[in-house]
Structure 1
Amino acid sequence: MTPLATLQTPALLLDVQRVERNAARMRAAVTDRGVLLRTHVKTSKSIDVARLVIDPERPAITVSTLREAEIFFDHGMHDIFYAVGITPNKLDRAFDLRARGAALMLVVDTVDAAHAVASAARRHGDAVPVTIEIDSDGHRAGVRPDQKDVLLAIAAALVEGARVAGVMTHAGGSYNARSDDELRHYARLEREGAITAANHLRQAGYDIDTVSIGSTPTALFAEHFKGITEVRAGVFTFFDLVMAGIGVCGIDEIAISVLSSVIAVQPDKGQIVIDAGWMALSRDRGTAAQPVDQGYGLVCDADGVPIPDLIVAAANQEHGLVRVRDDSPCPLPDLKIGDLIRILPNHACATGAQHDAYQVFDVECRAATAVWPRFHGW
């Protein structure tokens, strides 16, 4: 057990109790309605954290890198969806993982990518299951649900060697929602887009078994999952300020924070300097476009209680500049050199990626009781 005061800062703190509550909430929203929850492990990149969240009876996961797939496979999680469009230079590595026993599913959204996968599948003698990505809300990649000809051309290219498993989509547009009604709207777009595309494939004679959707906001605000086989979500594991800003979670549900030390107090400049810059917090400014801009993170005291209107307003590589919001009447808190504060992240995935390990934090004894490693790379 390491007392909070003796931890080297900056350090990434993890509240296990909050993770468990967040996981229970997502299971109630998805699994309890009879749909597979395929947890996205890119958020934690940690075997220890994943074991808190994933259903041990059906340990299905989503990954965003092949390194994630390989590491989680080595730790007994074999049902894996690599949910980023596959590129030709990664195909042999993906098929090697399948040859080791992984039930790895891939995704494409172009005819050229489909041809590449089919060619590799023939070369390896492995009819890999592949989903076609659908653009259900104009957010990022994928085929629009109404582009039936493109969808069927991709499917025709895939069956030259691979298997058309179904469709997948991600309602990234939900991150722009500003009300519960808008969140439900994005959830409907996501569901209806996936089902429309799946029906095009079925009507063309493809026997598909996967209709995969997913984002934390839409998973929690979907009215139902009729016609959907699985939901992919990841940031619910920790939540963050972006999720709080769109009304998906409360500040008190955010499970990670960055512990930092005060290194200078500058009342003449209206700021406090801390040892957590963007190397500890990340450069993600996901709340900048929200009604409440949280800067580089919301500042809390050492117990995790937010200090009124205090944010990390600017960040250099190893320095954070803590200030009161411009329009706030609150005073700069009376902090001293060496005092500890905790910073809640804008984007849990990005902040986590800056650290090699979680300090598992016990709230009652104000100490780290374990160190859980994270991994990096692609």
Structure 2
Amino acid sequence: MSVVVSETAVPALDAVDTPALVVDLERLDRNIARMNATTARLGVRLRPHVKTAKCTAVARRIFGGIGPITVSTLREAEYFFADGFADICYAVTFAPARTARAAALARAGARLSLLVEDVATVRAIAVEAAREGVRFRVLVEIDADGHRAGLRPGDGRLVDVARAVDESTHLDFAGVLTHAGSSYACVGADALRAHAALERDAVVDAAARLRAAGIGCDEISVGSTPTLSHASDLAGVTEARAGVYVFGDLVQSNIGSCALDDIALSVLATVVSHKRDTGRVIIDAGGLALSKDHGTANQAIDYGYGQVCDLSGTPLQGLCVVEVNQEHGLVASRDTAATAAMFDALPIGSRVRVLPNHACMTAAAYDGYWVDGGAALRRWPRCNGW
């Protein structure tokens, strides 16, 4: 079954109920083209992480059709497989209890890769795979920078885990994978280039250790938008995964992975109240619509819960969402002297667009996008859940 992309047309953004999720098509395509060119220059296969967009229409623009993808939930895997995306890496440490559901995808024709980091899990998956009558490709997760899960490249358990996969009759050892999540703490091109080299070295070293132990290691996978955007050399790496680059966000802008005018995702909101006594304009997009991710709090520019823009998507300098309740966003000016002008610029009933701190978190509240580009708006669905 294919996923239907609605081309529903409405006259303009001011006809859309708020809050709503909006994609700037020109910026989206520009971001996609930039990353496609980057991976081509570096000589690696791109396996985009679709957890950001969760939308087959976005993924198809990356490839001009279908291609290999990375997911973070089985719901994503099922949704994308229904639209023809069969080469899927499930890049979260796999829980054996999910094997039956993963097996259903494999029996339907999905080439599903799973992620492991300990022998007990490998053995449990192997038992379940045998019971289900399927085979899975398996990668060992490598911890490149102490960010989250995985084994350090020099961990003695690395060979044991890979060998347990390699010796299983229902699992195929595919290689190693890492995500340099600590790159999000880097600022500036030099720091990001260095972190990209650290990420590369971690998996290349892990692969070398496995080969020295007599275990073939074909797939060597790295991935994060900050490192991939700044990598200068990925020698020894076969594929790269990144996801948020398609939209960008304020955290990525502060890091240096994109510019403010590259951010393709925004939340459309309506001004519903003026609170002149507190210097606040209130919009109908709060903590649910924007998310409560305050990822810019410790960065060079703190955007609160989002940068406020006019209806065309042009940032209104100094205006950000400084506080959120469930359905209310409170907008204020960084310059108290400009507060009066803020009320004049944002009359009650007017529309604004808010750039998000973290695109993945913000998009999670919505079941689709309004796509701004061309003669009329289009509606692209997205999947949610696990």
TM-score (norm 1): 0.95
Measure the CA separation in 2 of the matches of 1:15 and 1:76.
Answer: 25
Match of 2:160? 153
Measure the CA separation in 2 of the matches of 1:204 and 1:33.
Answer: 28
Match of 2:115? 107
Residues 158-237 of structure 1: pairs in structure 2 closer than 5 A = 158=165, 159-161=167-169, 162-237=171-246
Q: State yes or no: 1:349 paired with 2:357.
A: no
C-alpha displacement at 1:329, in angstroms?
Answer: 4.9
Cα pair 2:272 2:349 within 8 Å, conserved? yes
Correspondence for 1:118 among 109, 113, 126 = 126
C-alpha displacement at 1:111, in angstroms?
Answer: 1.9
The aligned amino acid for 1:91 is: T
Correspondence for 1:286 among 287, 295, 306 = 295
Taking only the aligned residue pairs, the percentage that are identical comes to 48
The number of residues matched between the two structures is 372
Measure the CA separation in 2 of the matches of 1:38 and 1:14.
Answer: 22
C-alpha displacement at 1:122, in angstroms?
Answer: 2.8
Match of 1:338? 349
Q: State yes or no: 1:84 paired with 2:92.
A: yes
RMSD: 1.5
C-alpha displacement at 1:55, in angstroms?
Answer: 5.0
C-alpha displacement at 1:361, in angstroms?
Answer: 1.2
Cα pair 1:295 1:312 within 8 Å, conserved? yes
The aligned amino acid for 1:337 is: I
C-alpha displacement at 1:96, in angstroms?
Answer: 1.7
Match of 2:4? none
**SS class of match (1:107):** strand
Match of 2:49? 40
Measure the CA separation in 2 of the matches of 1:374 and 1:128.
Answer: 27
Check 1:343–1:219 CA distance in 2 against 1; reply closer, same or farther (3 A cut).
Answer: same
**SS class of match (2:47):** strand
Cα pair 1:294 1:346 within 8 Å, conserved? yes
Q: Which runs of 4+ in 1 moved over 3 A?
A: 124-127, 327-332
Match of 1:130? 138
Cα pair 2:26 2:373 within 8 Å, conserved? no
Correspondence for 2:62 among 53, 58, 68 = 53
The aligned amino acid for 2:327 is: E
Q: State yes or no: 1:319 paired with 2:328.
A: yes
TM-score (norm 2): 0.93
The aligned amino acid for 1:106 is: L
C-alpha displacement at 1:243, in angstroms?
Answer: 0.3
Render the CA deviation track for 1:269-313: whole Å, top value 9, x for unaligned: 011011000111011111112121111100011111111111100
Check 1:329–1:189 CA distance in 2 against 1; reply closer, same or farther (3 A cut).
Answer: farther
C-alpha displacement at 1:97, in angstroms?
Answer: 0.8
Q: What 5-or-longer segments of structure 1 have no aligned partner? A: none
The aligned amino acid for 1:339 is: S
Measure the CA separation in 1 of the matches of 2:213 and 2:130.
Answer: 23
Q: What 5-or-longer segments of structure 2 have no aligned partner? A: 1-8
Measure the CA separation in 1 of the matches of 2:349 and 2:310.
Answer: 13
C-alpha displacement at 1:328, in angstroms?
Answer: 6.1
Measure the CA separation in 1 of the matches of 2:291 and 2:354.
Answer: 12
**SS class of match (1:290):** coil
Measure the CA separation in 2 of the matches of 1:32 and 1:92.
Answer: 40
**SS class of match (2:293):** coil
Measure the CA separation in 1 of the matches of 2:381 and 2:221.
Answer: 30
Check 1:266–1:168 CA distance in 2 against 1; reply closer, same or farther (3 A cut).
Answer: same
**SS class of match (2:327):** coil
Correspondence for 2:79 among 34, 55, 71 = 71
